[in-house]
Amino acid sequence: MKRKLNVVDYIIIIFLLLLTFSCLVPILNTLAMSFSDKTSAALGKVTFLPVNFTTAAYQEMFQDNRFFTAFGVSVFRVLLGTSLNLIFSIFMAYPLSKSKKEFGCRNIYMWILVFTMMFNGGLVPTFLVINQLQLIDTIWALVLPGAVNVFNTIILMNFYKGIPSALEEAARVDGAGPWTILLRVIIPLAKPSIATIALFAIVNHWNAFFDGKIYINTPAKQPLQTYIQALTVQLSPQAMANMTPDEIIRKMEVSNITFNSAKAFVSMIPILAIYPFLQKYFVTGIVMGAVKE
Amino acid sequence: MRNRKDQISYHIMLLPGMVLVAIFSLLPMVGIVMAFQKYMPAKGIFGSEWVGLKNFEILMKYPDVRNVIINTLVIAIAKLVLGIIVPVVFAVLLNEVRNAGLKRTMQTIVYLPYFLSWVILAMMFQNMFSYTGMINQLVTAFGGEPVMYLISNTYFRPIIILTDVWKNFGYSAVIYLATITGIDPQLYEAGEIDGANRWDKMIHITLPALKGTIVLMSTLALGNILNAGFDQIFNMYSPLVYETGDIIDTYVYRMGLEKLQYSMGTAVGLFKSVVSFVLIVSSYKLADKFAGYRIF
């Protein structure tokens, strides 16, 4: 039976549409900014459509080597970082998915890992450790500290636990050891879960800026988000502390909005490109992580 | 003998990861002793002078510290509360939309901001809230005076809270939508036979069905009460709004890595880690007790 839409339905739909549209506003605004001329952008004339359409910002961007270097660093970081995340999660989750009877030390490992998830040394000691290890200014400072993601490992472990043990027993009868079972039986079955954590790892690595800011000093080695972050905050807090609000306003106005918007938009493209996959897997991902029965 | 071989394999599978955990998670915990020292980089943690709780005593006297803790709590709690209410309302209302295509489209769009970085979003918001930005264009169009929102202590906190809720509500709503999908349609049909209208069904069927999930999500969120959102605030604040927007994490960063006050930075960080640890453990205990939720 089909019900006719009444006023309440329309109010709900309009409200939801506004809310949904709000999620597109900043993206549309940035895109419009990137295709507008500098003066209009600085005067705030741009909302959702470009004013005085121009591709000047993009032309300028294509001449900017720093941007592409940073883009390349980020791509490399995502590849290396995600691979490490996956390797550690896949291998560590397997012994942890065993019961205490099957693997005697299982709980000791589990407690250490869970403890590191709940308690950490804090920013300063972590920074000093990485400094001591001479990882500063290397890609390793960006990928190694987070290489073991305990939360993802637990998600995967829970998935492994759900695989019927009959499959594993059958493989054992055929003479397979833990390595063969993991590689030949478990991993092929866990592909969707692995895809989920891979996508999350990609997004996390792509979006991270802070580690690049504190661990990488050489501009040419900084990842994209760190580079963009430095563009927007041209005014250091120390410099700003000594300026009057008027001076700060003037300083902010001369910042290159259209150019920065173009870079911001291009930096979103990889995320938009994997968005359909994210959608496919992340619902299962959150549900796995949050409402495990 | 088979079993012994398996055990060794299991250890080998865990070992490389455990080495990294030892270096990057456990070793920094040793560094915590700096909080009780007058740490000098040249002398290292073994040669630096021990000062007991003096660093904490000094910190207690800083007016900033009190402010920073208040800011952290106000911002985090507001985000937590709205971060539950908004997604629940969105999910419940979305459930009322009959058109499946429209429903799916809206759902697809709302979780997009979750995947964008705060660096990019902060840049967008700086444009939007700037003196000549979109928001001020709107304000002046209605005859108002333009405001520098992001350097105003009146507006900074609300903007931080709202933009964070905006970024995350679509993502959080997924869990509530999953729960709603699981509601037995017969319940609604039975309700209709009893003469329930849309409102009655929302209040008496949908919301009670979500109660468990809401309780669970709120409990788990408790562990984040000292996380007011470093990435967001770091990219949106300025010295002009330290009064209302400086939080523990940004304070630790400036103290420890900008002013190079290693001991003080570590001490504030330790305070946060200890309180958070207690909160996380309690929240897991509560979640287990009330919702039977166990992460491992």
The interface residues of chain B toward chain A in range 140-159, judged by CB-CB distance below 8 A, are 148, 151
**B37 — phi, psi (to 5°)?**
-125, 170
| DSSP secondary structure letters along A102-137 | TSTTHHHHHHHHHHHHH----HHHHHHHHHHTT-TT
Of the residues A28, A124, A204, the best mutation for testing chain B's interface (the one with the most B CB atoms within 10 Å of its CB) is: A124
Q: Which residue of A has its CA nearest to B33?
A: A125
Q: Which of A46-55, B62-71, B77-86, B209-218 has the highest mean pLDDT?
A: B77-86
Q: How far does A206 lie from chain B, in Å, by closest CA?
A: 8
Residue B13 has what pLDDT? 96
Q: The whole model's pTM is what?
A: 0.89
Please state, in angstroms and rounded to a whole number, the distance separating the CA atoms of residues B179 and B199: 19
Structure tokens at B198: 């849309």
- Which tens digit of pLDDT belongs to each residue from B93-113? 999 888 889 998 998 899 899
**Collapsing DSSP states into helix, strand and coil, what is residue B129?**
coil
Residue A41 has what pLDDT? 81
For domain A56-287, give its CATH number from 3.30.950.10, 3.30.70.1380, 1.10.3720.10, 1.10.10.10.
Answer: 1.10.3720.10
DSSP B31: G
Could you list the pLDDT tens digit for every one of the 293 residues in chain A?
456 778 888 999 999 999 999 999 888 988 998 998 888 887 777 888 888 898 888 988 888 889 999 999 999 999 999 999 999 999 999 999 999 889 989 999 999 999 998 899 889 999 999 999 999 999 999 999 999 999 899 989 988 998 888 999 899 999 899 999 999 999 999 988 899 899 989 999 999 999 999 999 999 999 999 999 988 755 545 555 566 666 665 555 545 788 888 999 999 999 999 988 888 777 666 655 544 43
Q: How far does A142 lie from chain B, in Å, by closest CA?
A: 12
> pLDDT above 90 covers what percent of chain B?
49
CB contact under 8 A, B133 and A88: no
The number of beta carbons lying within 10 Å of the beta carbon of residue B258 is: 12
Q: How far does A136 lie from chain B, in Å, by closest CA?
A: 14
Inform me whether the C-beta atom of residue A270 falls under 8 Å from chain B C-beta atoms.
Answer: no
Inform me whether the C-beta atom of residue B95 falls under 8 Å from chain A C-beta atoms.
Answer: no
Sketch the domain layout of chain A as residue ranges.
56-287
Residue B1 has what pLDDT? 47
Residue A80 has what pLDDT? 98
Average pLDDT of every residue of chain B: 90
* Torsion angle (degrees, nearest 10) of CA B257, B261, B267, B269: -10
Residues of B in contact with A178 (CB under 8 A): 6, 9-10, 13
E-assigned strand segments in A234-274: none
Shortest CA distance to A274 belongs to which of A183, A191, A203? A203
Are B110 and A18 spatial neighbours (Cβ–Cβ below 8 Å)?
no
Go through the domains of chain B in sequence order and give each one's CATH number. 1-52 (no CATH), 58-291 (1.10.3720.10)
Residue A180 has what pLDDT? 94
Torsion sign (Cα): A100, A102, A108, A109: negative
CB contact under 8 A, B34 and A124: yes
Provide the ipTM: 0.89
DSSP A202: H
